[in-house]
Copies of this chain bind each other. A is one copy, B any other.
Amino acid sequence: MTAIGTSVARADGPLKVTGQVQYTVDTQLPGMLHAKVLRSPYPHARVLAVDATAAAARPGVVVLTAADLTNLDHAFGVALRDQPIVAIDRVRFVGDPVAAVAADTPEAAEAALEFIDVEYEPLETVMDPEAAAADDAPVLHPVERPRAPMFVGWPAERFRGSLNVCSGYHVEQGDLDAGFASADHVFEDTYRVPPIHHGNLEPHAAVASWDHRGHLNVISSTQSPSIVRLQLAEIFGLTENQVRVVVPYVGGAYGSKVYAKIEPLVAAIARKAGRPVRLVLTREEVFATAARHACTVHIRTGVRNDGTIVAREVRAFYDTGAYADTGPRASKKGGYLAGGPYRIEHQSLTSYCVYTNKAPAVAYRGFGVPQVVWAYESQMDDIAARLAIDPLELRRRNLIRDGDTFVTGDVLRNPGLDEALEAVAEAGDWGSPVPEARPGFAIGRGVACAIKSTSTPSNSAASVRLNADGSVHLLTSSVEIGQGSTTALAQVIAETLSIPVSRVTVSLPDTDVTPFDQSTISSRTTFSVGRAATDAAAKIRQQLMSLAASQLEAAVTDLDVDEGSVFVRGSRDRSLTFAEIIRRHFGSPAGSLFGDSVFQTRGGLDPLTGKGKASATWFYSAAAAEVEVDLETGKARVLRIATSADVGKAINPAQCHLQNEGSMLTALGSALFEEVVYDAGQPTNSSFLDYGMPSLEDHPLEFHSILVEHPSEDGPFGARGVGESVISPVAPAIGNAVAAALGGARVRELPISPERVLAAVDQQPEARA
């Protein structure tokens, strides 16, 4: 293989480092207006009246309120259509859109917002997901919605909680009571993670225009062109060919741009204005549009003296904020993965997705999984400490292995988890003495590992076209969000056709011309789109061989392909370049050959049992961290970290390593610094200045990225995907290292702030070094 496994330079690299690339925020259309959004100052309130008369009277100003939307079914959402384009009669978080204005300049639009009068009646708020699930909690969406189908694996009679519980998931195996009865030790703890911010540098941005055929054109920084098209078609009563979604290069997303976000609003106001309208969110508004799910995880684990985990019960409350968005899906995934990558005979795993008066929680790298990994991998080290078993050894004894059946019923094939775990342990000098700390500091080491699934079922189509000169185009709706998809997809095609990577051009999404793709999410692009692209390219390879067979008067079975030519095996001088084959076939250096393919992953979980086929492939990862803690201030600093992911096959090793490094630094931020803080329902740190993302100074002095390659069954060339793998184990590895440094004093709520470190030490004075 020449293209696969090679760290080909990124196709988009030169465009990006020279600033030549155009993002959605750079879009300019003739006659384009600029939108601004009037947002709720209350975390929860009834909207009694919206008077936009004065604003609408200003020259050049177009105002959108709920009154404009009565002829649309304008609540949207892929799991539950619960999110209005602008508030109808109620606002549910600080930042909830109430009205929007379009004007010639952003400043004019901003100025007009002040002329909209809104009368509110404040309502009681609820900010904690577990409290929100209680029967007496204030209810955010009082209209009874059809919720039962969301309650996967959850017998109706077992349901309880308020209307704020918008979905639930439950799965079990074995006999939980018997399991705990057979345990020598039972550990019961509660772990918490706060809402955090994605930190996508390019804010949410979209430009919408309607043409005089009544077609809607949207340019958007979205991860989901195909689904956004579907959502907009539904909202505005159009067929899919009447909605065009174009996605330029995206300047970071990390889940924050999955499915419709601002697009329905921009489309609605453009429709009223009769002109193109652009909306680019401010950073404060990005904070009000997307967050990672806060989560409270109660975990109870029964263990034998030899370290065998025999029973585990998890109840996780996912805080989806004011609207469901993908919360039902993320909490389902976190639910069935809450037992971890371990053989546990008796399990009962339950997750709830609960509305609170926070900004909507949406997809975020890891999609519901890091929350439960934080819980089970932290608890694992408490168990190890109590049983006096080395934490690495404790994991070894319980790890899932090839052919094991997961709690969902999936059979796990060729997992690279043990290899990943051993690799980070070795890179992190696990078992060797911890370096001596400076006075007033303590150093500890921790490991953690994780398993994650991918969105299943899903569907990716690829259309490959061969030009007359043997160069190739791939049409795909997968989004280049900075992860390098355009490069990796070019590589799988180049390998399949034995041509240089430079001869392959990969499209950006344009739903009028690029075929369906589920979304650029769930580490699925290389696996699913890559597989579709490989299959499509193979069809072209097959056609070229068939044509060459008759042109060379040879049997197809005697032919092979190399360096852009078809040749007779064992007789290299009998060969034809692709260009020659085309020329002979069409009679001129002209014409196209086509290969299309759809890669459909099958699966899904039974609504009654929560079981079935959860995932088309699985991601395994591990991390080992060495952390220094300042015993006076409580500040933790990561000295060394090793991460490892089973990528199946590294299509582009350099990019896989970069994904690991990005995941590591993101997870380090969530471990030590990051939290969207609310005070009485008001967010208080919605800016990069106030919100503490890690900087390069926080980067560990020593970083190892290790790629494990246990080929998957269905991925192209065995690839699995790598975008999210390392997100999950990093925080608990750091948490375990901190606990180790502190002699077992454990912080159970992220981030591991200096205050929490000091508090943990205070609660366990014997831990102080």
Residues of A participating in the B interface, judged by any CB pair closer than 8 Å: 11, 14-15, 18, 20, 22, 26, 28, 30, 211-213, 215, 226-227, 230, 233, 239-242, 457, 459, 461, 463, 465, 467-473, 475, 502-505, 507, 510, 512-516, 518, 586-592, 594, 596, 598, 600, 602, 604
**17 other contacts beyond A14-B211, A459-B591, with CB at 8 A cut-off?**
A14-B213, A15-B211, A15-B212, A28-B30, A233-B469, A241-B472, A241-B503, A242-B505, A457-B587, A459-B586, A459-B588, A463-B594, A513-B513, A515-B592, A516-B592, A587-B604, A594-B598
Which one of B18, B503, B505 lies within 8 Å of A512 (CB-CB)?
A: B505
Is A598 within 8 A of B588, CB to CB?
no
Known: A20-B212, A22-B30, A239-B502. A518 touches B471 (CB 8 A): no
> How far, in Å, is A461 (CB) from chain B's closest CB?
4
Is A516 within 8 A of B590, CB to CB?
yes
Which one of B467, B475, B507 lies within 8 Å of A240 (CB-CB)?
A: B467
Residue numbers in B under 8 Å from A14 (CB-CB): 211-213
Which one of B15, B461, B587 lies within 8 Å of A591 (CB-CB)?
A: B461
Is B592 within 8 A of A211, CB to CB?
no
> How far, in Å, is A266 (CB) from chain B's closest CB?
18
Q: How far is the CA of A502 from the CA of B242 in the complex (A)?
A: 8
Is B475 within 8 A of A590, CB to CB?
no
Known: A20-B211, A457-B587. A240 touches B468 (CB 8 A): yes
Query: Which partner residue on chain B sits nearest A226 by CB separation?
Result: B590
Q: How far is the CA of A385 from the CA of B226 in the complex (A)?
A: 69
Is B515 within 8 A of A514, CB to CB?
no
Q: How far is the CA of A22 from the CA of B209 in the complex (A)?
A: 13
Which 4 A/B pairs are nearest by Cβ-Cβ distance?
A14-B212, A241-B471, A594-B596, A240-B467
Residue numbers in B under 8 Å from A590 (CB-CB): 226-227, 230, 459, 516, 518
> How far, in Å, is A78 (CB) from chain B's closest CB?
11
Is A588 within 8 A of B514, CB to CB?
no
Is A230 within 8 A of B512, CB to CB?
no
Is A240 within 8 A of B471, CB to CB?
yes
Q: How far is the CA of A470 from the CA of B507 in the complex (A)?
A: 24
Is B587 within 8 A of A602, CB to CB?
yes
Q: How far is the CA of A591 from the CA of B26 in the complex (A)?
A: 30
Residue numbers in B under 8 Å from A513 (CB-CB): 473, 475, 507, 510, 513-514
> How far, in Å, is A285 (CB) from chain B's closest CB?
25
Q: List 21 A-B contacts (CB under 8 A).
A: A14-B211, A15-B213, A20-B212, A22-B30, A28-B28, A239-B470, A239-B471, A241-B504, A242-B505, A461-B594, A463-B463, A465-B515, A468-B516, A507-B512, A507-B513, A513-B514, A516-B590, A516-B591, A594-B596, A594-B598, A596-B596
> How far, in Å, is A475 (CB) from chain B's closest CB?
6
Q: How far is the CA of A708 from the CA of B212 in the complex (A)?
A: 34
> How far, in Å, is A3 (CB) from chain B's closest CB?
15
Is A600 within 8 A of B591, CB to CB?
yes
Which one of B240, B472, B589, B600 lies within 8 Å of A586 (CB-CB)?
A: B600
Is A457 within 8 A of B588, CB to CB?
yes
Is B602 within 8 A of A598, CB to CB?
no
> How far, in Å, is A497 (CB) from chain B's closest CB?
12
Residue numbers in B under 8 Å from A22 (CB-CB): 30
> How far, in Å, is A153 (CB) from chain B's closest CB?
19
Residue numbers in B under 8 Å from A515 (CB-CB): 465, 592, 594
Is B598 within 8 A of A592, CB to CB?
yes
> How far, in Å, is A472 (CB) from chain B's closest CB?
6
Residue numbers in B under 8 Å from A463 (CB-CB): 463, 465, 594
Residue numbers in B under 8 Å from A11 (CB-CB): 213
Q: How far is the CA of A503 from the CA of B242 in the complex (A)?
A: 8
> How far, in Å, is A199 (CB) from chain B's closest CB?
27
> How far, in Å, is A131 (CB) from chain B's closest CB?
35
Q: How far is the CA of A27 from the CA of B507 in the complex (A)?
A: 21
Which one of B467, B594, B602, B604 lies within 8 Å of A241 (CB-CB)?
A: B467
Is B213 within 8 A of A473, CB to CB?
no
Q: How far is the CA of A505 from the CA of B244 in the complex (A)?
A: 10
Q: How far is the CA of A589 from the CA of B227 in the complex (A)?
A: 10
Is B241 within 8 A of A473, CB to CB?
yes
Q: How far is the CA of A239 from the CA of B14 in the complex (A)?
A: 18
Q: How far is the CA of A459 from the CA of B585 in the complex (A)?
A: 11
Known: A212-B14, A515-B594. A469 touches B240 (CB 8 A): yes
Is A589 within 8 A of B230, CB to CB?
yes
Residue numbers in B under 8 Å from A239 (CB-CB): 467, 469-471, 502-503
Residue numbers in B under 8 Å from A598 (CB-CB): 586, 591-592, 594
Q: How far is the CA of A598 from the CA of B468 in the complex (A)?
A: 13
Which one of B26, B240, B467, B505 lies within 8 Å of A30 (CB-CB)?
A: B26
Is B212 within 8 A of A18, CB to CB?
yes
Residue numbers in B under 8 Å from A586 (CB-CB): 457, 459, 598, 600
Interface centre among A505, A514, A604 (most CB of B within 10 A): A505
Query: Which partner residue on chain B sits nearest A233 by CB separation?
Result: B469
Interface centre among A15, A233, A241 (most CB of B within 10 A): A241
Q: How far is the CA of A30 from the CA of B594 in the complex (A)?
A: 34
Query: Which partner residue on chain B sits nearest A504 by CB separation?
Result: B241
Interface centre among A28, A213, A514 (most CB of B within 10 A): A213
Q: How far is the CA of A213 from the CA of B604 in the complex (A)?
A: 42
> How far, in Å, is A468 (CB) from chain B's closest CB?
7
Residue numbers in B under 8 Å from A594 (CB-CB): 461, 463, 515, 594, 596, 598
Q: How far is the CA of A211 from the CA of B20 in the complex (A)?
A: 7
> How far, in Å, is A614 (CB) from chain B's closest CB?
15
> How far, in Å, is A347 (CB) from chain B's closest CB?
28
Query: Which partner residue on chain B sits nearest A210 by CB separation?
Result: B20
Residue numbers in B under 8 Å from A26 (CB-CB): 30
Residue numbers in B under 8 Å from A471 (CB-CB): 239-242
Q: How far is the CA of A53 from the CA of B126 in the complex (A)?
A: 74
Is A241 within 8 A of B461, CB to CB?
no
Q: How far is the CA of A241 from the CA of B590 in the complex (A)?
A: 13
Is B591 within 8 A of A473, CB to CB?
no
Q: How far is the CA of A507 from the CA of B239 in the complex (A)?
A: 16
Is A461 within 8 A of B213, CB to CB?
no
Residue numbers in B under 8 Å from A211 (CB-CB): 14-15, 20
Q: How far is the CA of A213 from the CA of B20 in the complex (A)?
A: 10
Q: How far is the CA of A230 from the CA of B510 in the complex (A)?
A: 24
